[in-house]
């Protein structure tokens, strides 16, 4: 796209006429409307442009952005609240909570900042909550997101006996009932709780849909927060997602940035006599922007990984991430998101972490008893997966030069004995040659190597102090890794034909938000009225040609529960709507054309 056309596409979504009925987080991004036909390299370039939108400045009369004065001021105020808790942690807690990716990031950040406190000989003050419990860190658990009471109860449990709690609820779309229930509870108990909400829609776009057993909606909770002196709303717009509604991408990255900015500022103020300032916060956000730029400057290397992963998925193979440290946590997260996002099988993209559950250190301990999909250690990979792998699968090693590179080399050799499709992705400080020889050996074993080298000036804390700098190294590596892995898994599924234009057609309909999104998508693609689309969706969910009995009168929870055991419901409903054929015929059409995009395009 030429320069000026690109600039106008960059901002097009901000126009009041652009998909006016949708909140920003659900709009489709004009930059990616033909991402489904793009090459691996073009896909990466489009993702870069979308990520750049996170840091765009506020234009007058439109949405507030990450760097808007009001947002920065609120971030500083919240950081000061956290600082108070860090200085006087007795009976106090900072709780981070969310659903899906938002909850996974709550875990990642709480774990890292607790580690930093332990290094300073302080007691941990951070807790995380994820809807669906710890299994949701590693797998798709979408239904608990719809339960406001469950959210409230889990918050109460974590905070038992506490006298002061800074609660940070994360819902990118300002939509998750689970989080709304928690915020409502905080507002009812202001003597203990200070509620903070992180999301990426303006307040008036918060979801205004009744929730089971509640008198409030997400929207009304946000309104109450706006009227409350002791509640904070952090909701800059970051632009529509590259794949519509896929809030794991920009929503997740921006969540990570905001939490790190706030908590780093609080830690520095509490323990390094560096007061919280708006300027410091702006600088820190700027450092994250540079991380995005440095990462995407390796477009070719990222594209090579996208291509390899895409080939594997296209050929019925799988993609395995083998990671070390917190980068491995990001790989587990990325893998777990592929199921709800693309209707992928859990075996399609899998993550493994060196040290397994001992390294992960989650609330509920080891989850291996839940089955093979919860076996996440490298040993599990060696025993359960490697014997079955062939050259049509892709294995990606993910690490930094601060990890045990000797161990990486050992694992690379084991994998290479079995298959050739091995790749490496690692971070390194400019001029750091400590593991150069081993790295050379790893490179020789790999088909491609993506090496992101970070300017030494930005790395003073490597090894000595990896936690308290306002632009700490792990934060950069993690964000960079998240961007690359999101590109790999999204790009691979695009190449597999799971995306039409920039919509996920084969989305799982496993909670109310996804149910509404699916209905909207059917309307958009078929041009049929909403009720007809919902009817087609229900027929596909219940696998019936006619909606009889009590199906139409059941609530969405019943529908989404039923949909958990079904696959390709949205594509099947779409085929029925477009052709007027029966469900059986639609399913057979999809079987003959397993590439969803082609099956749909043929009919459009």
Of residues 269-308, those binding ligand F6P (CB under 6 A): none
Neighbours of 348 (CB within 10 A): 22
Residue 461: φ, ψ to 5°: -100, 0
Interface map 219-248 toward ligand F6P (x if CB under 6 A): ----------------------------xx
Q: Binders of ligand F6P: how many residues, by CB under 6 A? A: 20
Which residue's CB is nearer to ligand F6P, number 112 or number 513?
Answer: 513
Contact (CB, 8 A) for 423 and 305: yes
From the CB of 168, what's the least distance to ligand F6P, in Å?
12
Interface map 311-350 toward ligand F6P (x if CB under 6 A): -----------------------------x----------
Binding status of residue 102 toward ligand F6P by CB under 6 A:
yes
Residue 583 DSSP symbol:
H
Binding status of residue 514 toward ligand F6P by CB under 6 A:
yes
Which residue's CB is nearer to ligand F6P, number 148 or number 340?
Answer: 340
Interface map 104-143 toward ligand F6P (x if CB under 6 A): --------------------------------------x-
From the CB of 137, what's the least distance to ligand F6P, in Å?
12
Residue appearing with tokens 């059941």: 554
From the CB of 175, what's the least distance to ligand F6P, in Å?
5
Q: How much of the chain is helix, strand and coil, in % rounded to 5? A: 55, 10, 35
From the CB of 252, what's the least distance to ligand F6P, in Å?
7
Which residue's CB is nearer to ligand F6P, number 140 or number 481?
Answer: 140
End-to-end CA distance of the chain: 26
Contact (CB, 8 A) for 537 and 370: no
Q: Which residues, listed in sequence order, are joined to residue 576 by a DSSP beta bridge?
A: none
Neighbours of 9 (CB within 10 A): 16
Binding status of residue 101 toward ligand F6P by CB under 6 A:
yes
From the CB of 331, what's the least distance to ligand F6P, in Å?
16
From the CB of 540, what's the least distance to ligand F6P, in Å?
19
SS (H, E, C) 463-520: CCCCCCCCCCHHHHHHHHHHHHHHHHHHHHHHHCCCEECCEECCCCCCCHHHHHHHHH
At a CB cut-off of 8 Å and minimum separation 6, what does 464 contact? Answer: none
Which of 145, 184, 298, 506 binds ligand F6P (CB under 6 A)? It is: 145
For 320, the 3-state DSSP assignment is strand
Report the C-alpha gap between 352 and 382 in whole angstroms. 10
Binding status of residue 194 toward ligand F6P by CB under 6 A:
no
Which residue's CB is nearer to ligand F6P, number 111 or number 170?
Answer: 170
Interface map 458-477 toward ligand F6P (x if CB under 6 A): --------------------
Residue 252: φ, ψ to 5°: -65, -45
Contact (CB, 8 A) for 196 and 167: yes
Which residue's CB is nearer to ligand F6P, number 392 or number 561?
Answer: 561
Residue 418: φ, ψ to 5°: -105, -35
Binding status of residue 100 toward ligand F6P by CB under 6 A:
yes
Which of 66, 76, 99, 409 binds ligand F6P (CB under 6 A)? It is: 99
Which residue's CB is nearer to ligand F6P, number 248 or number 589?
Answer: 248
Binding status of residue 23 toward ligand F6P by CB under 6 A:
no
Task: Please choose, out of 95-103, 463-471, 473-481, 543-551, the segment that lies near ligand F6P by the rule CB under 6 A.
Answer: 95-103
C-alpha pair distances (Å), 525 with each of 227, 319, 342, 505, 596: 40, 31, 18, 10, 14
Report the C-alpha gap between 340 and 141 in whole angstroms. 9
Residue appearing with tokens 């489709």: 28
Sheet holding 193-198, edge to edge: 126-130, 92-98, 164-170, 193-198, 232-234
Task: Please choose, out of 97-105, 218-226, 349-357, 360-368, the segment that lies near ligand F6P by the rule CB under 6 A.
Answer: 97-105
Binding status of residue 202 toward ligand F6P by CB under 6 A:
no
From the CB of 32, what's the least distance to ligand F6P, in Å?
17
Of residues 397-426, those binding ligand F6P (CB under 6 A): none
Residue 430 DSSP symbol:
T
For the residues of 113-128, what is the DSSP string, one character each? HHHHHHHTT----EEE
Interface map 161-190 toward ligand F6P (x if CB under 6 A): ---------xxxx-xx--------------
Residues found near ligand F6P in the complex (CB under 6 A): 98-102, 142, 145, 170-173, 175-176, 247-248, 251, 340, 511, 513-514
């Amino acid at each position: 796209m030429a320069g000026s056309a690109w600039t106008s596409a960059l901002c097009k979504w901000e126009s009041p006429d652009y998909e006016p009925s949708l909140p920003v987080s659900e709009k489709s991004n004009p930059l990616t409307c033909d991402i489904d036909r793009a090459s691996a390299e073009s896909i990466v370039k489009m993702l870069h442009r979308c990520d750049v939108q996170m840091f765009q400045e506020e234009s007058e009369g439109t949405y507030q952005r990450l760097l808007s004065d009001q947002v920065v001021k609120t971030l500083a105020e919240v950081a000061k609240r956290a600082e108070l808790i860090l200085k006087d942690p007795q009976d106090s807690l900072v709780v981070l909570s969310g659903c899906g990716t938002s909850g996974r990031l709550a875990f990642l950040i709480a774990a890292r900042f607790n580690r930093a406190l332990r290094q300073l000989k302080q007691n941990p003050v951070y807790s995380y909550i994820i809807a669906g419990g710890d299994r949701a860190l590693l797998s798709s658990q979408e239904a608990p997101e719809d339960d406001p009471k469950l959210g409230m109860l889990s918050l109460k449990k974590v905070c038992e006996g506490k006298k002061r709690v800074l609660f940070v609820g994360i819902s990118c779309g300002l939509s998750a009932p689970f989080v709304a229930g928690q915020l409502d509870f905080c507002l009812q108990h202001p003597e203990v709780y200070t509620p903070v909400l992180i999301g990426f829609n303006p307040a008036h776009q918060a979801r205004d849909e009744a929730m089971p057993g509640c008198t409030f909606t997400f929207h009304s909770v946000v309104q109450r927060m706006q009227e409350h002196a002791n509640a904070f709303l952090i909701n800059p717009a970051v632009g529509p997602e590259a794949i519509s509604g896929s809030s794991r991408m920009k929503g997740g990255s921006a969540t990570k940035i905001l939490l790190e900015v706030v908590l780093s500022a609080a830690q520095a103020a509490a323990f390094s006599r560096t007061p919280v300032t708006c300027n410091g916060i702006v600088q820190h956000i700027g450092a994250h922007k540079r991380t995005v730029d440095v990462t995407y400057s390796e477009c070719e290397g990222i594209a090579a990984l996208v291509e390899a992963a895409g080939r594997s998925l296209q050929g019925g193979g799988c993609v395995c991430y083998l990671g070390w440290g917190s980068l491995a946590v990001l790989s587990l997260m990325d893998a777990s998101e592929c199921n709800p996002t693309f209707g992928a099988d859990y075996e399609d993209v899998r993550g493994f972490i060196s040290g397994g559950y001992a390294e992960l250190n989650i609330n509920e301990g080891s989850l291996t008893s839940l089955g093979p999909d919860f076996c996440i250690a490298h040993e599990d990979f060696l025993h359960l997966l490697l014997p079955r792998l062939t050259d049509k699968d892709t294995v990606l090693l993910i690490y930094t030069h601060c990890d045990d590179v000797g161990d990486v080399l050992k694992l690379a050799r084991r994998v290479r004995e079995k298959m050739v499709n091995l790749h490496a992705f690692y971070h390194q400080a400019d001029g750091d040659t400590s593991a150069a020889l081993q790295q050379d050996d790893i490179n020789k074993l790999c088909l491609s190597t993506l090496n992101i080298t970070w300017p030494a000036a930005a790395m003073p804390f490597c090894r000595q102090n990896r936690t308290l700098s306002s632009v700490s190294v792990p934060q950069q590596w993690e964000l960079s890794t998240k961007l690359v892995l999101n590109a790999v898994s999204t790009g691979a599924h695009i190449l597999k034909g799971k995306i039409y234009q920039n919509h996920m057609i084969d989305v799982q309909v496993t909670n109310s938000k996804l149910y509404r999104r699916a209905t909207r998508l059917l309307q958009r693609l078929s041009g049929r009225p909403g009720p007809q689309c919902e009817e087609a969706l229900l027929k596909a969910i219940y696998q019936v040609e006619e909606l009889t009995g009590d199906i139409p009168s059941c609530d969405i929870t019943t529908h989404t529960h039923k949909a958990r055991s079904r696959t390709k419901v949205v594509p099947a409903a779409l085929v029925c709507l477009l052709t007027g054929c029966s469900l059986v015929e639609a399913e057979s059409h999809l079987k003959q054309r397993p590439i969803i995009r082609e099956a749909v395009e043929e009919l459009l």
